[in-house]
Amino acid sequence: MSTGEASVIVRTGADRLWAMVADVTRIGEWSPEAVQAEWIDGATGPAVGARFKGHNRRGRAKWTTVCEVIEAEPGRRFGFAVGGAAKPETIWRYRFEPSGDAVEVTESFELVKPLGFLSRLVTRVTTGVKDREADLVDGMRTTLAAIKEAAEAEALKA
């Protein structure tokens, strides 16, 4: 099983930051790969069991995923399982740890269903990515930097 994580300190409140991250409809603003998401099956926001559809693009490849929220504790944790809670392929989590006037947010992934040889080959050919796990960590760093910039800008306006 492969895992990875990245963290950043954001000068804003934990509840405000959690609300931004848990609003999956905003992921396209920050992620280098996930370009859009929408709540499905009547879900309207982050709650355990809520499902959403994610739209991803990398290189020439485009794909969608169905995800299920598995953790939704405002200001503390948000997590979802790609493929659903019963048979997850990948689990993504965000942990929020307040510290003074800032919050350390940590994003992590767990590849529950490891990529086999064929999947790695297809990924390399269609996306140009040679090391998927390292690429995911780089993507988390990019995402967290963009979230930090947006959150701190929004905090200044508040």
pLDDT score for 78: 98
DSSP letter assigned to residue 25: G
Which single residue is written with the structure tokens 């967290």? Answer: 144
Q: What band does 125 get if pLDDT is binned at 50, 70 and 90? A: low
pTM: 0.88
Residue 34 pLDDT exceeds 90: yes
pLDDT score for 156: 80
Q: Are 13 and 150 in contact (CB under 8 A)?
A: no
- The domains of the chain, with CATH numbers, are 2-157 (3.30.530.20)
Residue 123 pLDDT exceeds 70: no
Cβ burial of 110 (10 Å; 0-12, 13-18, 19+) is: middle
- How far CA 88 is from CA of 53, 119, 155, in Å, comes to 14, 16, 35
pLDDT score for 134: 74
Q: What is the pLDDT of residues 67-121, one digit of tens each?
A: 999 999 999 999 999 999 999 999 999 999 998 899 999 999 998 866 665 565 5
